[in-house]
């Protein structure tokens, strides 16, 4: 464990003690926002970004240690673990390196090499490799044995070749070096499949495409894999830009030859060994590395896509709220009309309708009259316009409305309507707005997300907000973890009013889950607003640990204690009170 802590400390550029303190808190059930805000004195002021990275690396390195233990036990049970191999396994610093080392010892189906070894052909393979001056056919002749299914010299040489091919392909140091070399020199190439040009028009940039692997940006990698998945493109990783000269060993074959002291010096066994190397490279090693590098490309692209998605989501959630002002939400549309919802300063729906100013009905003046009447009647100050279909035309409508009612001093703003349709059809929306049609709920969401983006957007699955590329291709669990962390950090950074927050918003507060959030709302509905943070302890199932985690992020406005409306944690208030009651020392001067 100390080794893991030290490694993470080095990666983050912090002290070991800081990492140890953070790990202890995380293992004890503390959340990242709580540690970042209220345990700075223990962690040396690690921020939420450092703590998220620490948490991620801690999980990875613990999984690596578990796998390392399993590998050691497996090889030990086989009776093949010696000090050198154990040291190599203990030094492996990644899952990939560990699996490379384990490959020769990994239980697998009987291979041609295993069958050849059982037939007694491993000494032949060693002779051919170490004494290339010997003629292969003559060397193999003594190993012919019909009882062991070695019918002739050709069969003996085939068995020896299978043994050497497996030996070359399972050399951990060689495979690791070849992988990095291929990553540096390799080319990703794509071509369009026969008869797919019309169907795959959106992938036309990749019909005849190639680019070095290290230079491929994430969005291009995702596009290439999407094209392959939709059976439009054929992808291939070329090991190097220039194809090797026919009959001559290529760059990677030379690396294998050098590793095993094979060379072309005109000796009787050199040609057979060179062909064995070529066979190992083309039928086993290159295929294995292609799979590895495709996974490496995908992982890098996925990581970057998730990062961009999370960054965009953070920007949306932390957009400046317009505040508690009467707002008109307009959900644009052509045939089905523009859905209109008016909410008051608290977010309550006070009016809703649908207008048809655009094609095909073109009832422009009538629509303006309806909107004007609603604006005057409900004191509308803000107009929120969804940025979907017919948004520009609806923006023009709102512009004219603002000009016709200059005394209202209304402001119009186009807002993202991403996820509004998902919210409209959700179970939460049905409970929150049971009397409204699904289409009107979307307009309500658009209006509310202008008033308070964070409070409204937390009601929607982060993936449904749609602020990333190729999100449906990304690993669902990885994306969900990242986006949930962003939502949690944003909610806790801003703080939540315990007397007005919805269940989805409360469930994102440190230490509070979905069930506890529902209990808080039910208790609030049954007993009235909380007058202090201490009153939260009366909520069923909200125990001391949950209270410690959540209290600092919950706000009680106009409560019994002014500090309850701040980010000051109750434990800090108790400490200050206790300190103020301590008798002061008498001066000796």
pLDDT tens-place string over residues 530-571: 999 999 999 999 999 999 999 999 999 888 999 999 988 888
The pLDDT value recorded for residue 582 is 47
Burial category of 122 from C-beta neighbours within 10 Å (exposed 0-12, middle 13-18, buried 19 and up): middle
Average pLDDT, the chain: 91
Beta carbons within 8 Å of 186's beta carbon, 6+ residues apart: 212, 213, 237, 238, 239, 240, 293
Q: CATH 1.10.3500.10: does it fit domain 112-306?
A: yes
Report which DSSP code applies to 326: -
What is the percent of the chain where pLDDT is above 70? 96
Tell me the pLDDT band of 479, cut-offs 50, 70 and 90.
confident
Beta carbons within 8 Å of 367's beta carbon, 6+ residues apart: 338, 355, 356, 357, 397
Q: Is the pLDDT of residue 580 over 50?
A: no
State in words which class domain 2-105 has: mainly alpha
SS3 324: coil
Q: Is the pLDDT of residue 461 over 80?
A: yes
Q: Is the pLDDT of residue 263 over 90?
A: yes
Q: Is the pLDDT of residue 80 over 80?
A: yes
Q: 418-446 pLDDT, tens per residue? A: 888 889 998 889 989 999 999 999 999 99
Q: Which helix (H) or strand (E) holds 526?
A: helix 514-527
Phi, psi of 265 (to 5 degrees): -120, 15
Report which DSSP code applies to 359: T
More confident residue, 249 or 279: 279
Tell me the pLDDT band of 285, cut-offs 50, 70 and 90.
very high
Fold that domain 495-581 belongs to in CATH: DNA polymerase; domain 1 (1.10.150)
In the predicted model, what is the mean pLDDT of residues 445-467? 88
Tell me the pLDDT band of 248, cut-offs 50, 70 and 90.
confident
Q: Is the pLDDT of residue 126 over 50?
A: yes
In the predicted model, what is the mean pLDDT of residues 218-224? 93
Tell me the pLDDT band of 588, cut-offs 50, 70 and 90.
very low
The CATH label, of 3.40.50.720, 3.90.1200.10, 3.30.420.140, 3.30.2130.10, for the domain at 327-451 is: 3.30.420.140
Long-range contacts of 224-231 (CB under 8 A, 24+ apart): 224/188, 224/190, 225/298, 225/301, 225/473, 226/470, 226/473, 227/190, 227/200, 227/203, 228/190, 229/473, 230/200, 230/203, 231/193, 231/196
Query: What is the residue extent of each domain of the chain?
Result: 2-105, 112-306, 327-451, 495-581
């Amino acid at each position: 464990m100390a080794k893991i802590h030290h490694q993470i400390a080095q990666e983050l550029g912090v002290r070991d003690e800081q990492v140890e303190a953070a790990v202890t808190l995380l293992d004890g059930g503390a959340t990242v926002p709580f540690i970042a805000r209220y345990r700075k004195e223990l962690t040396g002021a690690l921020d939420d970004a450092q703590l998220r990275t620490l948490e991620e690396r801690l999980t990875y390195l613990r999984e690596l240690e578990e796998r390392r233990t399993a590998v050691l036990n497996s090889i030990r049970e086989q009776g093949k673990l010696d000090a050198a191999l154990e040291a190599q396994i203990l030094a492996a610093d990644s899952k990939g390196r560990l699996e490379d080392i384990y490959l020769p010892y990994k239980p697998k189906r009987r291979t041609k090499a295993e069958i050849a070894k059982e037939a007694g052909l491993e000494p032949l393979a060693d002779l051919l490799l170490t004494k290339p001056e010997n003629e292969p056919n003559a060397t193999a002749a003594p190993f012919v044995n019909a009882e062991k299914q070695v019918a002739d010299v050709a069969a003996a040489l085939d068995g020896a070749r299978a043994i050497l091919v497996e030996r070359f392909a399972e050399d951990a140091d060689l495979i690791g070096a070849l992988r990095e070399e291929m990553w540096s020199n390799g080319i990703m190439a794509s071509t369009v499949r026969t008869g797919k040009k019309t169907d795959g028009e959106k992938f036309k940039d990749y019909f005849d495409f190639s680019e070095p692997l290290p230079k491929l940006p994430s969005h291009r990698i995702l596009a290439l894999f999407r094209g392959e998945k939709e059976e439009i493109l054929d992808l291939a990783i070329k090991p190097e830009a220039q194809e090797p000269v026919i009959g001559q060993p290529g760059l990677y074959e030379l690396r294998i030859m050098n590793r095993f002291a094979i060379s072309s010096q005109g000796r009787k066994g050199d040609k057979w060994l060179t062909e064995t190397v070529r066979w190992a490279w083309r039928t086993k090693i290159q295929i294995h590395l292609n799979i590895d590098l495709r996974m490496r490309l995908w992982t890098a692209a996925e990581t970057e896509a998730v990062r961009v998605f999370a960054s965009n989501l953070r920007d949306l959630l932390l957009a400046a709220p317009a505040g508690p002002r009467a707002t008109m939400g307009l959900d644009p549309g052509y045939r089905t009309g523009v859905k209109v919802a008016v909410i008051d300063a608290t977010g309550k729906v006070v009016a809703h309708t649908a207008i048809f100013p655009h094609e095909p009905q073109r009832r422009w003046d009538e629509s303006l009259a309806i909107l004007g009447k609603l604006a005057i009647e409900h004191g509308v100050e803000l107009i929120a316009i969804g940025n979907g279909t017919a948004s520009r035309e609806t923006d023009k409508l709102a512009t004219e409305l603002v000009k016709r009612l200059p005394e209202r001093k209304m402001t119009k703003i186009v807002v993202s309507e991403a996820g509004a349709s998902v919210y409209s059809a959700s179970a939460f929306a049905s409970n929150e707005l049971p009397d409204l049609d699904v289409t009107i709920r979307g307009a309500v969401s658009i209006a509310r997300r202008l008033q308070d983006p964070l409070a409204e957007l937390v009601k929607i699955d982060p993936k449904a907000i749609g602020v990333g590329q190729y999100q449906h291709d990304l690993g669902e669990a990885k994306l969900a973890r990242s986006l949930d962390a962003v939502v949690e950090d944003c909610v806790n950074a801003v703080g939540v009013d315990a007397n007005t927050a919805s269940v989805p918003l409360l469930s994102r507060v440190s230490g509070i889950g979905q069930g506890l959030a529902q209990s808080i709302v039910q208790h609030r509905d049954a007993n009235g607003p909380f007058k202090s943070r201490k009153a939260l302890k009366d909520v069923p199932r909200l125990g001391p640990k949950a209270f410690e985690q959540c209290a600092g992020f919950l706000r009680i406005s106009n409560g019994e204690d002014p500090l309850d409306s701040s980010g000051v944690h109750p434990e800090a208030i108790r400490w200050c009170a206790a300190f103020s009651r301590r008798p002061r020392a008498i001066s000796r001067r």
